[in-house]
Structure formats: structure tokens, C-alpha cells
């Protein structure tokens, strides 16, 4: 009992320090109206927000910490009275059960700012998702002003282990695991595991091209899994575990082809497929940052230098 008490006290001290560290982080100053929504989880009046009928192209960022949250390409008019988006920037938005126990609240994943709620099954867009966001929780960067980012999509077996390595890579802004390369819109994990969707478990990586490159990330991709295995990775067997790079442009395609040729010259019989970009369907929340949540390390994605 005394040993358990010591552990509990230690944990309390650690959490207190963590909470203090979060309080010491510097965030943007907020008006009383902004605090009501962002910190106390209030809601602005419908059709009153500045971004409700806003049409400019660019990036919507968190009012409290400036983290990029949504792209204008994912915004649509739902007629609900608040800005609506059918997707978020990978890893930028956190989902939690609302205090009412029925709805799903959305928060800035970095600072915890209240954004609004997310709804599914309404049929507004093919993604069948609506992020209902308070304008007051957002700021906007016009297309020419927004931070320069690029995106890469890789499949290398179970996406838990793949994300574990990519989220630690220099220059990576955010990661999100999901499904791509198949025929079924908005698939579930069960759909993909059934082997009838054609999707691969994949990771979408948003990175800063000023700090890293697609080639650096592609090299990491080839060094954290066995690219010679066909439709499997270690004990995980099936088409969804195939090795693939889903290129966004010709430059990414040529880079992937060049790296594969380099590995072949080293004697590796590379089975990695180079596939064109396809819709990326974000996986269920419990799959996101899986090993980080579990405080574990992957069992089938071990780094091995190949270049």
C-alpha cells in the first residue's frame, strides 16, 4: 500500500508539472468573446461569424496558437450557419466526446482550443463528414501568405508502426493514418480488413519543404519496412499491408522510381508499388498516434539503413 501511495504521489507531481508547463506556453491574447467560445466551449450565433460565407482560398488556423487546421479546398456550404469543412489537415484536430454525451467535440490538437463539433452521415459531400466550426475560433491565411507545406502518402504495412517513425522525422508537421488506393468510399477498419476494398493502410505526411524533402521521407519509408515483401509486412498478411508510394506529382513519382532502382542495384527485389494519388480516408481516432498513446514501440517496423 505504501508503495502504491508513493507512485500515486509521483504521478500527481508529474501531472502538476505538465499542467504548469502548458499554462506557461505563450498563446495569442483573446477577447472576452473569444474566450467564451475557445476556452469555455461556447457557441457563436449562427450566420454571425466572419467565415460563414467566406470564399477566399487559403488556410484556416487556430485563433489561439496559429496552428493550421483546415484548407479552403475542404470548405463547403452546408447552410447550417457556421463554417463547414469535410476534412482537416492531418493530425491538427482532436476529437472528444462532448459533455452532453451525444456529440463529438473538436479541439485544436496543439492547444486544446474549442472549435465546434463534427458530424457524420449527413451526405453533404462524398466524405460524409461535417466539421461545424465557430468562426471566432479561427484566423485565415490567404493562399499567398499561408505556410509552404507539401504532402506525401506511404503504405508500408500496419500504419501504427509507420506513423511511429514518421512523426519523429525532422521537418514533419503532422501525420494521419488512413486508407487509400481502393474502391470503397469512406471505408471502416473492418471493411479494409475484409480484403474487399482494395485499400492499403497508409499514412499521410504533411511536411515543411524548407526543412526536409520528399526524397528524405521516401528514404525513411524504405528503411522502416521490408520493401521486398508482397502484400504483407511481417506477420500482417493481406493486400491492405502492401508496400506502396502514392505520388502527388511527377517529381515524387520520379524520385520514388530512382530510389527503387538504387535499391535494386544493391540486390533488393523491391516489391513496392508506385501508385497515383487517390482519395485518402482518415482512419478511426483510436488508430491515430497509436504507439504514442500506448507508450510502446512497433514490433514489425524496425529501422534498417539501406542507403
Give me the active site residues, please: 132, 158
- What whole-number distance in Å separates Cα of residue 212 and Cα of residue 130? 32
SS3 (DSSP) at 115? strand
- The three three-digit cell numbers of residue 203, written as one number: 499514412
Provide the 8-state DSSP code for 274.
E
Q: For residues 217 and 207, is the Cβ–Cβ distance under 8 A?
A: yes
On whether the CB atoms of residues 200 and 179 are closer than 8 A, the answer is yes
Torsion of CA 127, 77, 103, 93, to 10 degrees: 70
The DSSP-derived string for 176-229 is: EEEEESSSSSS--HHHHHTT-S--EEEEEEEE-TTT--HHHHHHHHHHSS-TT-
- Please give the Cα distance from 244 to 179 (Å, whole number): 12
Mapping DSSP to helix (H, G, I), strand (E, B) and coil, where does residue 78 land? coil
**What is the pairing mode between strands 150-156 and 200-207?**
antiparallel
The owner of cell 501525420 is 175
User: Residues near 83 by Cβ (< 8 Å), separated by ≥ 6?
Assistant: 49, 51, 52, 54, 60, 75, 132, 133, 134, 135, 138
Indicate the helix (H) or strand (E) that contains 113. none
* Residue 121 DSSP code: S
Amino acid at each position: 500500500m505504501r508503495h502504491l501511495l508513493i507512485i500515486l504521489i509521483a504521478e500527481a507531481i508529474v501531472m502538476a508539472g505538465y499542467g504548469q508547463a502548458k499554462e506557461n506556453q505563450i498563446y495569442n491574447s483573446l477577447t472576452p468573446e473569444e474566450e467564451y467560445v475557445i476556452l469555455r466551449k461556447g457557441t457563436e450565433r449562427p450566420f454571425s461569424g466572419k467565415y460563414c460565407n467566406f470564399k477566399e482560398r487559403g488556410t484556416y488556423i487556430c485563433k489561439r496558437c496559429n496552428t493550421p487546421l483546415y484548407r479552403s479546398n475542404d470548405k463547403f456550404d452546408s447552410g447550417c450557419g457556421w463554417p463547414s469543412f469535410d476534412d482537416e489537415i492531418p493530425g491538427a484536430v482532436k476529437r472528444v466526446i462532448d459533455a452532453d454525451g451525444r456529440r463529438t467535440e473538436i479541439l485544436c490538437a496543439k492547444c486544446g482550443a474549442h472549435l465546434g463539433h463534427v458530424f457524420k452521415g449527413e451526405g453533404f459531400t462524398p466524405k460524409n463528414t461535417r466539421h461545424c466550426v465557430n468562426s471566432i475560433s479561427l484566423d485565415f491565411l490567404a493562399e499567398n501568405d499561408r505556410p509552404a507545406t507539401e504532402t506525401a502518402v506511404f503504405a508500408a504495412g500496419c500504419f501504427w508502426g509507420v506513423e511511429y517513425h514518421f512523426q519523429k522525422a525532422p521537418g514533419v508537421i503532422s501525420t494521419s493514418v488512413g486508407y487509400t488506393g481502393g474502391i470503397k468510399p469512406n471505408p471502416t477498419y473492418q471493411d479494409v480488413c475484409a480484403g474487399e476494398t482494395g485499400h492499403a493502410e497508409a499514412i499521410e505526411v504533411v511536411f515543411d519543404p524548407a526543412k526536409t524533402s520528399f526524397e528524405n521521407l521516401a528514404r525513411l519509408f524504405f528503411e522502416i519496412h521490408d520493401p521486398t515483401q508482397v502484400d504483407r509486412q511481417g506477420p500482417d498478411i493481406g493486400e491492405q499491408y502492401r508496400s506502396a508510394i502514392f505520388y502527388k506529382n511527377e517529381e515524387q513519382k520520379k524520385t520514388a522510381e530512382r530510389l527503387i532502382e538504387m535499391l535494386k542495384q544493391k540486390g533488393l527485389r523491391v516489391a513496392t508499388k508506385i501508385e497515383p494519388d487517390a482519395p485518402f480516408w482518415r482512419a478511426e481516432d483510436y488508430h491515430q498516434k497509436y504507439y504514442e498513446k500506448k507508450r510502446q514501440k512497433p514490433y514489425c517496423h524496425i529501422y534498417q539503413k539501406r542507403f
